[in-house]
Chain A
Amino acid sequence: MKNYSTRKGDLAKMRLRKSPAKSIPIETSREIVALTKELGISLDLESVRKVISLGMESLNQEAELEYALKKLEEEKGRIASNFRKIAFQYSQLEAKCVGTRNWFGRVSRDNRVLAMHLCARVPRGKREEQLRDDLIQKYIMNWRSAQNQQDNKGDTNEIGLE
């Protein structure tokens, strides 16, 4: 019968002896914890190696970097505030553009229906005939050819009267 407990103990000792890693407590360095959270990185063996190498290669001192970070955060605040202002301005203009475009689309659709009704009517006089032909051309014929062009292109714009 095998003695499993002894074998298990031996393996644990072997792992301990061969363990390539050493633990360092960082309770006192809240900044490290905060920075890793902010950067969204976990400090595994490989990351720690890379971060240490980066820290050793850095030409700047801790205080210089902290000052630069403070300045960058301030700059970010200014840029973000400007971005919000511009984005608000853009959203208002875009809403106006979409509103006008939709209104034009609705009126054009109404006009198309009216032009279709007009097709069934006989004009009185040359002037009326000209007006009638122009409007039918614009709201039915041109619209159809624009639709065909869009179908060929795979475009979904329904206005087609520009």
Chain B
Amino acid sequence: MKRSFLGALALMFLQGAALAALNVVATLTEIGALVEEVGGTRVKVESLARGDEDPHSIAAKPSHSRRMSKADLLVYNGLELEIGWLPLLIEGARNPRILEGNSSHLNLSDFIHPLEIPEFVDRSLGDVHPEGNPHFTLDPGLYPDLARVLSERLAVLDPDGADYYAERLDSFVQRWNRRLLDWQQRLEPLKGVEVVAYHNLWSYAARRFDFEIIGHVEDRPGIPPTPKHVAVLQTRVRAENVKLLLYSDLVHPEIPKRFAERAGCKSLRLPQSVNSREDTENLFDWFELWVSLLEGAIKEG
């Protein structure tokens, strides 16, 4: 009895390490999903944020630090999206491998060209990101490059799996590019269309699919909009005959719906990330739903 208890305890400690070559911790669910695509069975991935949590303000739970304490690789978004909680978790993890400057510390934003780098930064502008708009994971066109970065990094950390990661990368990029082409064709009618957005989430997606965001309801990130700003934007939406207001799962639907009613446009709730709602368990399903919703809204006019 005693022996079997000790055996079970030992198994509990060794769990994970024995099943996969690398323990990977990702901050966001979409980043975790991408690691799974590239790493397959050689990685054990844990995402810190849930799909329905605001990535700006995840609670820095000590249990997250515990997850990171055994990580062989930490992958995060960067551009200060996680600045409010990730540094504290890294400090609490006491895992020298995942400190900045090591190969086990991967900031994905180092491999993209950020949009909207502000010339002037001040807290009166709200929760601004001095290094640029951090929401690049909402652009499906960037995923092949991000997957390549991940594959190379996994190969550095697990050289025995280099061929495996390269194969998985090729497979992912081929499947993804086919779907991307399909999504671009279906969203062809979106080209040049003017929309408004609740939060500044879709700048990268707008560049990819060539639609224009003429304004944001939340004009200063993280700060509730003033009635004056809302009124001015509603007037502009009416005057310019803007048809669509985009908002994410994270925003309570009541506020965008009220705005849309008064501005005379439609409101469309888009999935924020992988696992932000049902049927978004992986990257393909997430963007498929995202595209379908936009496609439907455009068809309805």
Question: Do A and B originate from a single complex?
Answer: no
- Which residues on A are within 8 Å of B, measured CB to CB? none
